[in-house]
Amino acid sequence: MTTTPSLDLAGQLWAADLAYLTAATTFWATGRDLPDTDPRVAHVLDLGDRCLDLIDELEQRAGHALAIRLNDLATSPELELVPEVATAAAVLRVFASDLYIADAEALQPDRELPAVGIWADL
């Protein structure tokens, strides 16, 4: 784990995810099936890997707090003295929410965003 604050990791995750969605949509819009060795595909795969790394780091920090409902994270007495854990758990709860996913998919009207590379296996 790094010493980077959870809130900074959250910002990095949002930025990486937006860059990933933008690159994946741009790639998808070409209508071409390019090999993984193509620089554009490699870029999308690298962004996806960065997102997975950040999610993994936040999951490690959140630990058991991932089981706590989002609304209860702020008032949980056991997390009161561990804001890094609560922040990591809250970020992951929002990131995995249906609302966030729907907003991301809305970038491509009437279509579900294509999964590229490693994300296609999830």
Domain boundaries, the chain: 6-121
pLDDT value of position 91: 86
Query: What single letter denotes the amino acid at residue 99?
Result: L
d(CA 115, CA 36): 13
Q: Tell me the pLDDT tens digit for each residue of 21-40.
A: 888 877 777 777 778 788 88
Which of 45 and 72 is assigned the larger pLDDT?
Answer: 45
Stretch 76-99: mean pLDDT: 77
Query: Cα(60)–Cα(54) distance, rounded to whole angstroms?
Result: 10
Of the candidate ranges 16-20, 82-86, 97-101, the one whose mean pLDDT is the lowest: 97-101
Predicted confidence band of residue 75 (pLDDT cuts 50, 70, 90): confident
- Read off the pLDDT of each residue in 65-69 and give the average, rounded to a whole number: 84
With 70 as the cut, is the pLDDT of residue 70 above it? yes
Burial class (CB in 10 A: 0-12, 13-18, 19+), 85: buried
Question: Mean pLDDT, the chain, as a whole number?
Answer: 79
The band of 56, judged by pLDDT with boundaries at 50, 70 and 90, is very high
